[in-house]
A and B are shown apart, each in its own frame.
Chain A
Amino acid sequence: MATKNKTLRRNLIALSLIAPFTLTFLLVFAWPTYKVIQLSFTDAPLIGAGEWVGLDNYRDLLGDRLFWIALKNNGYFLLLTIIPTTAIALAIALAVNRLKGWVQALILAVFFLPYILPVSVVTLIWAWMLDFQFGILQPVIEFFVGERVAVFRDPYWVMPMIAVVTIWWTNGFNVLLFLAGLRNIPQELYEAAALDGATPRQKFLRVTWPLLWPVTALVLTLQLILQLKLFDQVYLLSQGGPFNTSQVLLLLVYREAFQQNDGGYASAVALVLFVIIMVVSILQFQLLRIRGKR
């Protein structure tokens, strides 16, 4: 009898401990997800119920030119951001790691500062710096291409410049992750490598890089997820233009839902993006892990 009471009490305590998370999860994640899935099979407006239309939304999607443009732009943006931001963060972390004491803390703070800024401030700063008439970066552009460019209104410049802004904004966090990874590598390994006759380059390629691989895999995967969810910077800097050259999936969701009042179709697009992010990130993380284990 006593043991039964004890077991019951233990189970109640366990339940009470996981209840807050479970309830929150069900309320703000599972339920909305279920509703989005349900909505994507209807012709519902943004607010209110709609008629069941089966797979019509998905059929429309496949024939929607804008959907394919947005998907392609998302892919282009991944190319522009993921590898460069990882490489830059690693380079900065390696450099910061060589500094000591308060100088290191100061430099790290400088690199981390943009990360704590709200996206609206970030885009404002860059909109000013790249302003066609007064932007202090225009002379630099002029130096390289011979003329001033209204970058966020130029089909060729818009995505690369949004990528630059994004990298500048989010890089500090990656630097931090790499720095933590570097600090986890024991100094003795470098001393052993020095005695083994390794040059600085060999130390990096044969010790640092392989031991940093788990962190690199993490950074790449986090970046992949983050950059697929691109929305704010595009909305604030170019609104998807010019000529849809910076149109991306989340912007499409926003337009369909809040401007076209087409909740059903927006849900279908959102769900496709959700599936893409899930599949690609799981796939990438597994691939990277396998490479690391080899």
Chain B
Amino acid sequence: MTTGVSLKNVRKSFGSVDVIHDVSIDIPKGDFAVFVGPSGCGKSTLLRMIAGLEDTSGGRIEIDGKDVTEEEPADRGVAMVFQNYALYPHLTVFDNMAFSLRLAGAKKDVIREKVAEAARILQLTDHLAKRPANLSGGQRQRVAIGRAIVRQPSVFLFDEPLSNLDAELRVQMRLELARLHRELGATMIYVTHDQVEAMTLANDIFVLRDGWVQQAGTPLTLYDDPDNRFVGGFIGSPAMNFFEAEVTGGGDGVMQARTRIGQHTFTARHTGAAPEGRTVTLGIRPEHIALAEDGLRAKVDMVEQLGGVSYLHVKLEDGSNVVVERHGLREALEGHTVGLTAEPDDILVFDPEGRRLR
């Protein structure tokens, strides 16, 4: 497996503010990598550094094994798709896509051939003579992608490309991007704050927060086995539920912890040492909570009924909210008191600093 993009101890600071701290990651060639995180986490900055639009304060950026840290954006073999498309408004779709080829002095028939090919892949053939102003949002985004395709870059960079589209179109474009990745086989790096996009598109997800990579891995690794409370809470929708608890016992690969609110004892899978009296946080995903006679007492406040799936918003004694996912629910549960339980394998334990205890 060869490396497509490699960052080695990359740092970025604006004045005295560090926005990227010592990031080292390897993205295999042909991978679909997603940088995900809340706004201000540095994911876009990192992408722009790979593109060469931001200077690097320290460290090395390599693309296809070549150090490009000091190279101009155009010489890095990357193409970028911007959030606001960044189409040239005075040029037609054809001229937008042909722009880089013309600058590079390509022959007319070569330009026509490449643009036609990109237009065919993106179903833009009928729109080549139009200006961006006369296109829909989805078509504009496809032109922006087409502009990237004709350059045949070794790395595609996407900066929140779908966030200006409506929900339905977003789903459709997501599928098209996945298809495009399969067809072109190029390395793609995709930035988003939307964890659904990250889960559905990525081979590898990099979760960022405050300029640090919190965890890297496949979507399901991050979902099933998060390294810390932040990743656990960020990946997955609705988000993971957290309960403050105190360790009351353990051994034989499990531990018991009593919740601070409701005084219910959960048993969680845990092999390390767990001194009694230690404060921990238990994380349980909505689909892993079962309703039972005994269990953590809670009152059903509201039910979001989607037909197949239902989300129960239940309140604990102190009013804090917990989300429970049910399938095929048909009873009216609002106002009922229920008990919440979960299997030991489905309960994740975090220390007070948010680190995962395994």
Q: Is the CB of B88 within 8 A of A195?
A: no
Q: Is the CB of A192 within 8 A of B74?
A: no
Given contacts A186-B84, A188-B84, A191-B82, contact A196 B100 (CB under 8 A): yes
The residue in B79, B80, B90 that gathers the most chain A C-beta atoms within 10 A of its C-beta is B90
The residue in A189, A192, A206, A211 that gathers the most chain B C-beta atoms within 10 A of its C-beta is A192
How far, in angstroms, from A197 to B86 measured CA to CA in the complex? 15
Residues of A within 8 A of B86 (CB): 186, 188-189, 191-192
Write the B90-110 contact mask toward A (1 if CB under 8 angstroms, else 0). 100000000110011000000
Residues of B within 8 A of A202 (CB): 103
How far, in angstroms, from A32 to B274 measured CA to CA in the complex? 97
Residues of A within 8 A of B90 (CB): 210-211, 213
Given contacts A202-B103, A210-B90, A211-B89, contact A195 B84 (CB under 8 A): no
Query: In this assembly, does A198 line the interface, its C-beta being within 8 Å of a C-beta of chain B?
Result: yes
Given contacts A192-B80, A195-B51, A195-B78, contact A207 B72 (CB under 8 A): no
Residues of A within 8 A of B99 (CB): 193, 196, 206
How far, in angstroms, from A211 to B132 measured CA to CA in the complex? 14
Query: In this assembly, does B295 line the interface, its C-beta being within 8 Å of a C-beta of chain A?
Result: no
Q: Is the CB of B53 within 8 A of A197?
A: no
Residues of A within 8 A of B73 (CB): 191, 194-195
Q: Is the CB of A195 within 8 A of B89?
A: no
Residues of A within 8 A of B84 (CB): 186, 188
Say how far A142's CB is from chain B's closest CB, in angstroms.
Answer: 48
How far, in angstroms, from A189 to B89 measured CA to CA in the complex? 9
Say how far A195's CB is from chain B's closest CB, in angstroms.
Answer: 5
How far, in angstroms, from A195 to B148 measured CA to CA in the complex? 9
Chain B residues numbered 41-99 whose CB sits less than 8 Å from any CB in chain A: 51-53, 72-74, 78-80, 82, 84, 86, 88-90, 99
Residues of B within 8 A of A194 (CB): 52-53, 72-74
Say how far A198's CB is from chain B's closest CB, in angstroms.
Answer: 6
Q: Is the CB of B104 within 8 A of A197?
A: yes
How far, in angstroms, from A186 to B78 measured CA to CA in the complex? 21
Number of A-B residue pairs having CB atoms within 8 Å of each other in the complex: 54
Q: Is the CB of A198 within 8 A of B103?
A: yes
Say how far A171's CB is from chain B's closest CB, in angstroms.
Answer: 27
Q: Which B-chain residue is minimally distant from A195 (CB atoms)?
A: B73
Residues of B within 8 A of A197 (CB): 74, 100, 103-104
Q: Is the CB of A189 within 8 A of B88?
A: yes
Specify which of B82, B88, B100 is in contact with A207 (CB 8 Å cutoff): B88
Say how far B66's CB is from chain A's closest CB, in angstroms.
Answer: 17
Write the A198-214 contact mask toward B (1 if CB under 8 angstroms, else 0). 10001000110011010
How far, in angstroms, from A193 to B72 measured CA to CA in the complex? 12
How far, in angstroms, from A195 to B89 measured CA to CA in the complex? 17
Say how far A242's CB is from chain B's closest CB, in angstroms.
Answer: 48
Specify which of A186, A191, A196, A213 is in contact with B103 (CB 8 Å cutoff): A196
Residues of A within 8 A of B80 (CB): 191-192, 195
Residues of A within 8 A of B100 (CB): 195-197
Residues of A within 8 A of B52 (CB): 194-195
How far, in angstroms, from A260 to B82 measured CA to CA in the complex? 68
How far, in angstroms, from A186 to B73 measured CA to CA in the complex? 18
How far, in angstroms, from A191 to B100 measured CA to CA in the complex? 13
How far, in angstroms, from A197 to B77 measured CA to CA in the complex? 10
Write the A205-226 contact mask toward B (1 if CB under 8 angstroms, else 0). 0110011010000000000000
How far, in angstroms, from A213 to B91 measured CA to CA in the complex? 13
How far, in angstroms, from A179 to B7 measured CA to CA in the complex? 39
Residues of B within 8 A of A193 (CB): 99
How far, in angstroms, from A202 to B105 measured CA to CA in the complex? 13
Chain A residues numbered 64-105 whose CB sits less than 8 Å from any CB in chain B: none
How far, in angstroms, from A186 to B12 measured CA to CA in the complex? 24
How far, in angstroms, from A211 to B88 measured CA to CA in the complex? 9
Residues of B within 8 A of A207 (CB): 88
Q: Which A-chain residue is minimally distant from B151 (CB atoms)?
A: A196
Residues of A within 8 A of B82 (CB): 188, 191-192
Q: Which B-chain residue is minimally distant from A191 (CB atoms)?
A: B53
Q: Is the CB of B103 within 8 A of A195?
A: no
How far, in angstroms, from A210 to B90 measured CA to CA in the complex? 7
Say how far A14's CB is from chain B's closest CB, in angstroms.
Answer: 33
List 14 A–B pairs whose Cβ atoms lie within 8 Å, in order of A's numbering: A191-B51, A191-B53, A191-B80, A191-B82, A194-B52, A195-B52, A195-B73, A195-B100, A196-B99, A196-B147, A197-B74, A197-B100, A206-B88, A213-B90
| Given contact pairs A194-B53, A197-B103, A206-B99, a sample of 4 additional A-B residue pairs in the complex whose CB atoms are under 8 Å apart | A195-B52, A195-B100, A196-B74, A211-B89
